[in-house]
Structure 1
Amino acid sequence: MPLKACIFDAYGTLFDVSAAAREAAGEPGRERLASVWPALAEDWRRKQLEYSWLRAITGAHCDFWQVTQDGLDWALEAQGLTDPALRDRLLQLYRELSAYPEVPAMLKALRTQGRRTGILSNGSEGMLADAVRSAGIGDLLDVVLSVDRVGVFKPASRVYDLVGQALSLDPGEILFVSSNGWDAASARSYGFSTAWVNRQGVPMDRLPGQPDYVLSDLSGIPDIED
């Protein structure tokens, strides 16, 4: 079945989730952060995801911005960083994350091919609006879909349902792209064709679904035809 749309996870896929800690670490007076920022960024992202999974399982849903703050608080404490101004700065930068360098050209190529494009993310509608605006890619997206609409985080099937509802397409007509192996696998089990962007070269998750394509970055997405 021809692929008529390409839908992307946001954080870690289109937007560089390490950018906030990396940029803050380069600012004057951030010497302590500069020595630990990679570990902080990794802990922040890991806890953000873990908390989203646990909230999905227990039914204790909340705004993803709260999950993001909770993950950061854990990561800061783990590194012994207690400066409230640093916390505020990191959260500010997270609302303005950089897109990966290949993103604009990749999205333009998809649009030239006549494919619809969009985002499906755990991020709240406000977070996604800020990120899309900061990256300057709003005119390259047909839809930006947040789990806010269903009140549960991925990989709940109700989240993936949002894509077909918004675009009036069957799952087999959609390529779903994520940098999270678990997300790509779950979306494949749901019925999407999926591409896993494995930037770190980590092993594939042992899950029922397996992604159809594995790429090191997003530049090859327009070459996927069916």
Structure 2
Amino acid sequence: MAIKVCVFDAYGTLFDVAGAARVASEEPGRAALADVWPQLAADWRTKQLEYSWLRAVTGDYVPFWQVTKDGLDWAMERAGLDDLELRERLLALYWELPAYREVPMMLAQLRAKGVAAAILSNGNKDMLEGAVDSAGIGEFLQALLSVEQVGIFKPARAVYDLVGQEFGCAPDEVLFVSSNGWDAAGAAAYGFDTVWVNRMGLPMDRLMAQPAHVLSDLTTIPELV
């Protein structure tokens, strides 16, 4: 079937999750962060994801914002950064993560082709609205779908169900795009036509399914629809 809607993961796919730590590290008086920000950003993201997976397995759902704060606390402790003001600054910047540079043009091209675009994310709805507004890409998105609607994190099938409920489409009418290999695998197993945006050149995950397409960035997404 023809693709009717292109659905994007948010964090790491449309928005650069390292952006908060990088921006903060460039601010005056942040010498301690400047020395460790790449590791802090990586640890923050890793723990954010690990905590979401564990909570999905155990059924102990909390909003993604809580998971995000918990991940940052772990990362800051590992980095030896005991600084409440820095913590608040990093959390504030997470609401303003920069979009990758190809995102606006790519979304505009999808709109020109008449293909609906949406976000499906672990993020809270208000977190997503903040990032979308900050990046100035709201005009290109028809829906912001959040796991808070079902109370469980990806890759639970109930999360992917949200797309069909919103757009009235079959799984094979959806192009799902994620920079997370595990998310791309989950979406492929669900039945979506799936793109893994492998920005870091990582090996393919050994999971229940594999994405149909592997790209290094989002530039050529419109060509797939």
Structure-2-length-normalised TM-score: 0.99
Distance between the aligned counterparts of 2:196 and 2:103, measured in 1? Answer: 15
Q: CA deviation at 1:221?
A: 0.3
Distance between the aligned counterparts of 2:185 and 2:60, measured in 1? Answer: 24
Unmatched segments (≥5 aa) in structure 2: none
> Which residue matches 1:107?
107
Q: CA deviation at 1:111?
A: 0.6
Distance between the aligned counterparts of 2:64 and 2:159, measured in 1? Answer: 14
Q: Please list every run of at least 4 consecutive aligned residues from structure 1 whose deviation after the TM superposition is greater than 2 angstroms.
A: none
Matched AA of 2:144: V
Distance between the aligned counterparts of 1:221 and 1:181, measured in 2? Answer: 17
The secondary structure found in structure 1 opposite 2:211 is coil
Distance between the aligned counterparts of 2:82 and 2:218, measured in 1? Answer: 36
> Which residue matches 2:66?
66
> Which residue matches 2:133?
133
> Which residue matches 1:94?
94
Unmatched segments (≥5 aa) in structure 1: none
| Superposed counterparts of 1:35-46, under 5 Å | 35-46=35-46
Distance between the aligned counterparts of 1:135 and 1:146, measured in 2? Answer: 18
Could you give the per-residue CA deviations for residues 43-68 of structure 1, whole angstroms, max 9, x where no partner exists?
Answer: 00000000000000000000000000
> Which residue matches 2:174?
174
Distance between the aligned counterparts of 1:80 and 1:192, measured in 2? Answer: 42
Q: CA deviation at 1:4?
A: 1.1
Distance between the aligned counterparts of 1:216 and 1:142, measured in 2? Answer: 25
Q: CA deviation at 1:208?
A: 1.3
> Which residue matches 2:19?
19
Figure out how many residues of one structure are paired with residues of the other and give that number. 225
The secondary structure found in structure 1 opposite 2:118 is strand
> Which residue matches 1:118?
118
| Superposed counterparts of 1:41-52, under 5 Å | 41-52=41-52
Give the CA RMSD over aligned residues: 0.5
Q: CA deviation at 1:207?
A: 0.4
Confirm whether residue 194 of structure 1 aligns to residue 213 of structure 2: no
> Which residue matches 1:84?
84
Distance between the aligned counterparts of 2:3 and 2:130, measured in 1? Answer: 29
Q: CA deviation at 1:92?
A: 0.4
The secondary structure found in structure 2 opposite 1:218 is coil
> Which residue matches 1:211?
211
